[in-house]
């Protein structure tokens, strides 16, 4: 009898424990269920685009081995059970979830299956360490990154990744791979805003491995020194591939260590931030709604729709902020340094709630992640587990001059400024302001906005 292999955000054949388990038991039929219960909220637009192409790639790779990928939308618990019964499966196998929502399904689905007399097996998740397995000296969960990272390195080496099984086979697919149903509406139609995404990305497992290979050959050595300079292709750009599980963190860790030794550590340390944020999410499933520091619930945020519109469209008059927001809109990704700058600008210069920024990122990032996105927004806002101190207010002009000295990044994304040679980060101060048609003056004065933010943040500190 066939085995039903249930895919969630582990859309790969390599290092996939559930797939290895299923392949050893019999012919495999695979299933993916589109259900908002997978994330606790509907996926954003850019992530939906990614998912469409990732499923298309997975469906094709499975079809080569005669394995159909059934694609259904609706209530995951009901559908997994129905499909298992319909194909007469000997059992259902899947990888343990790495978010609270997937873990909830890990509890409801087995109950529904056993009511039908169906067997199941849950294999390891793709976290390098399960949240229950890593503890501080006093037995609690880690709330600060550096000790977490030290403990991870010293005591929790990730399990070695496993190759894809040679024995994988399915019932056969005479009509070729099953396409993603059009009525899922994962792709934008009118307007088709995905041109920039298509130019920037190739979703899927094969592309993920190519990206890792290129990065390790060409850029990992310089990563520690160059990762903060947004004009350079210094980082791996693996984030959307990791988000959808097209490559496992275990595989990235193992290949990096094998090829680079200690030189790879700055990169692996960033990978550990992903792990840390997932662990935080387990302690606080409402991470995208509630500040981890409760005093921030009283924070005097401003309601400023005009400011938000200028920020989200890349029209604040601060070149590095605008470049970042436009890179995000066009490609579904933004450089980490610039994410921190635009985040600080929204929260501190405009005093707009971080949840509004988190929401915008959730909709526009191809790597929009239920752990990394809210975890980092809380970090930027000073209300997170191991947060930036509240008095750190990035100066967007100085940040631009420091990390994009020759303005190459700004000129790439803000064409209004691309003829400027000097002072690209200070267009409002330049004499040729009126010769930069279409570029807005700054929507706030940074120095005044900074004083306003510090007053609000320190008032909060004093109350508590
Ligand atoms: P690399 O520098 O090559 O790093 C390798 C991998 O490590 C990344 O792919 C990612 O999985 C992980 N990583 C790196 N930096 C971080 C970090 N600060 N926190 C957690 N994991 C990290 N990352 C997401 O994956 N999804 C998000 O939704 C997300 N939202 C963010 C929101 C804000 C406000 C900020 C400041 C950061 C956010 N990040 C998010 C973290 C980081 O910006 C991206 O992971 C990184 O820019 C992705 O590019 P890369 O793959 O080239 O990273």
Say if ligand 1 is within 6 A of residue 245 CB: no
Asked if the bond preceding 191 is cis, omega within 30° of 0, the reply is yes
Tell me the best of 328, 339, 340, 372 to mutate to test the pocket of ligand 1, counting ligand atoms within 8 Å of each CB and taking the most: 372
Residues found in the chain: 464
**How far, in Å, is the centroid of ligand 1 from the Cα of 287?**
16
Atom of ligand 1 nearest to the CA of 369: 28
Q: What is the DSSP letter of 228?
A: T
Does residue 261 come out as left (phi exceeding 0), alpha (psi in the -120 to 50 range) or beta? left
pLDDT in tens, the chain (464 residues): 999 999 999 999 999 999 999 999 999 999 999 999 999 999 999 999 999 999 999 999 999 999 999 999 999 999 999 999 999 999 999 999 999 999 999 999 999 999 999 999 999 999 988 888 888 888 888 999 999 999 999 888 888 999 999 999 999 998 999 999 999 999 998 899 999 999 999 999 999 999 999 999 999 999 999 999 999 999 999 999 999 999 999 999 999 999 998 899 999 999 999 999 999 999 999 999 999 999 999 999 999 999 999 999 999 999 999 999 999 999 999 999 999 999 999 999 999 999 999 999 999 999 999 999 999 999 999 999 887 888 889 999 999 999 999 999 999 999 999 877 788 999 877 665 545 678 999 999 999 999 999 999 888 877 76
Q: Is the Cβ atom of 46 under 6 angstroms away from ligand 1? A: no
Residue 91 is predicted with a pLDDT of 98
CA 73, CA 182: separation in Å to the nearest integer?
12
* Complex-level ipTM: 0.99
Q: Is the CB of 212 under 6 A from ligand 1?
A: no
Neighbouring residues of 277: CB distance < 8 A, sequence distance ≥ 6: 369, 371, 372, 375, 376
User: Which ligand 1 atom is nearest residue 377's CA?
Assistant: 34
d(CA 51, CA 62): 16
Supply the pLDDT for residue 170: 97
| 239 alpha carbon – ligand 1 mean position (Å) | 6
pLDDT at 269: 97
Backbone angles phi, psi at 246, to 5 degrees: -75, -20
Catalytic site positions? 270, 273, 301, 336, 354, 377
Q: Which atom of ligand 1 is nearest to the CA of 367?
A: 26
Q: Does the annotation flag 312 for ligand binding?
A: no
- Rounded to 5 degrees, what are φ and ψ at 19? -65, -40
267 labeled binding residue? yes
Cα(145) to centroid of ligand 1, in Å? 15
273 CB under 6 A from ligand 1? yes
**CB distance 16 to ligand 1 below 6 Å:** no
Q: Which of 325, 376, 392, 394 to mutate to test the pocket of ligand 1 (most atoms within 8 A of CB)?
A: 376
The SS3 call for residue 444 is: coil
In angstroms, rounded to a whole number, what is the distance separating the alpha carbons of residues 340 and 342? 6
Which ligand 1 atom sits closest to the C-alpha of 365? 28
Prediction pTM value: 0.97
The answer to whether 223 is a known ligand-binding residue is: yes
| Distance of alpha carbon 157 from alpha carbon 232, whole angstroms | 31
Q: Tell how far the Cα of 196 is from the centroid of ligand 1, in angstroms.
A: 20
Is 197 annotated to bind a ligand? Reply is no
Beta-strand pair 120-123/91-95: parallel
Alpha-carbon gap, residue 464 to 462, rounded angstroms: 5
- pLDDT at position 138 is 86
The distance of Cα 108 from the centroid of its chain, to the nearest Å, equals 26
Expressed in angstroms and rounded, the spacing between residue 372 Cα and the centre of ligand 1 is 7
Residue 389 pLDDT: 83
Find tokens 């501080």 and name the residue: 136
Count the neighbouring beta carbons within 10 Å of the beta carbon of residue 297: 9
pLDDT, residue 427, reads 86
125 annotated binding-site participant: no
Q: Which domains are delineated in the chain?
A: 3-126 (3.40.50.620), 127-157+205-283 (1.25.40.80), 294-463 (1.10.579.10)
277 Cα nearest atom in ligand 1: 20
- Quick count: other Cβ atoms within 10 Å of Cβ 457? 21
> What's the gap in Å between 254 CA and the centre of ligand 1?
19
Is 235 assigned a ligand-binding role in the annotation? yes
Query: Ligand 1, atom 2: nearest CA belongs to which residue?
Result: 235
């Amino acid at each position: 009898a066939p085995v039903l292999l249930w895919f969630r955000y582990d859309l790969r054949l390599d290092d996939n424990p559930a797939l290895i388990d299923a392949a050893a038991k019999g012919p495999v039929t695979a299933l993916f269920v589109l259900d908002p219960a997978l994330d606790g909220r509907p996926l954003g637009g850019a992530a939906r685009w990614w998912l469409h192409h990732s499923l298309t790639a997975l469906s094709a790779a499975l079809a080569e081995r005669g394995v159909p990928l059934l694609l259904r939308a609706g209530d995951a618990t009901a559908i997994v059970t129905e499909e298992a019964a319909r194909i007469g499966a000997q059992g259902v196998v899947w990888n343990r979830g790495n978010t609270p929502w997937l873990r909830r399904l890990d509890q409801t689905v087995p109950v529904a299956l056993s009511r039908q007399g169906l067997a199941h097996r849950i294999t390891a998740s793709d976290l390098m360490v399960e949240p229950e397995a890593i503890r501080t000296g006093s037995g609690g969960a880690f709330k600060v990154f550096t000790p977490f990272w030290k403990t991870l390195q010293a005591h929790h080496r990730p399990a070695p990744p496993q190759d894809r099984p040679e024995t994988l086979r399915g019932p056969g697919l005479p009509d070729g791979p099953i396409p993603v149903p059009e009525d899922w509406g994962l792709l934008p139609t009118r307007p088709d805003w995905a041109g920039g995404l298509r130019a920037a990305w190739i979703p899927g497992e094969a592309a993920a491995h190519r990206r890792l290979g290129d990065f390790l050959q060409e850029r990992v050595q310089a990563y520690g020194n160059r990762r903060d300079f947004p004009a350079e292709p210094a980082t791996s750009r693996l984030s959307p591939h990791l988000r959808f599980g097209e490559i496992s963190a275990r595989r990235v860790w193992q290949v990096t260590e094998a090829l680079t030794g200690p030189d790879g550590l700055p990169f692996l340390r960033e990978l550990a931030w992903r792990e840390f944020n997932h662990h935080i999410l387990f302690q606080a499933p409402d991470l995208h709604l509630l500040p981890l520091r409760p005093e921030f619930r009283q924070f005097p945020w401003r309601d400023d729709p005009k400011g938000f519109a200028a920020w989200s469209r890349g029209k604040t008059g601060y070149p590095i902020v605008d470049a970042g927001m436009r890179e995000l809109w066009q490609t579904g990704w933004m450089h980490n340094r610039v994410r921190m700058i635009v985040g600080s600008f929204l929260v501190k210069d405009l005093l707009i709630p971080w949840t509004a920024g988190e929401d915008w990122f959730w909709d526009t990032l191809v790597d929009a992640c239920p752990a990394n996105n809210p975890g980092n927004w809380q970090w930027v806002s000073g209300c997170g587990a191991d947060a930036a101190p509240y008095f750190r207010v990035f100066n967007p002009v100085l940040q631009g001059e420091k990390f994009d000295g020759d303005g190459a990044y700004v000129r790439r994304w803000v064409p209004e400024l691309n003829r400027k040679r000097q002072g690209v980060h200070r267009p409002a101060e330049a004499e040729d302001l009126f010769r930069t048609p279409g570029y807005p003056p700054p929507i706030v004065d940074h120095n005044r906005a900074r004083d306003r933010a510090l007053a609000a943040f320190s008032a909060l500190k004093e109350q508590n």
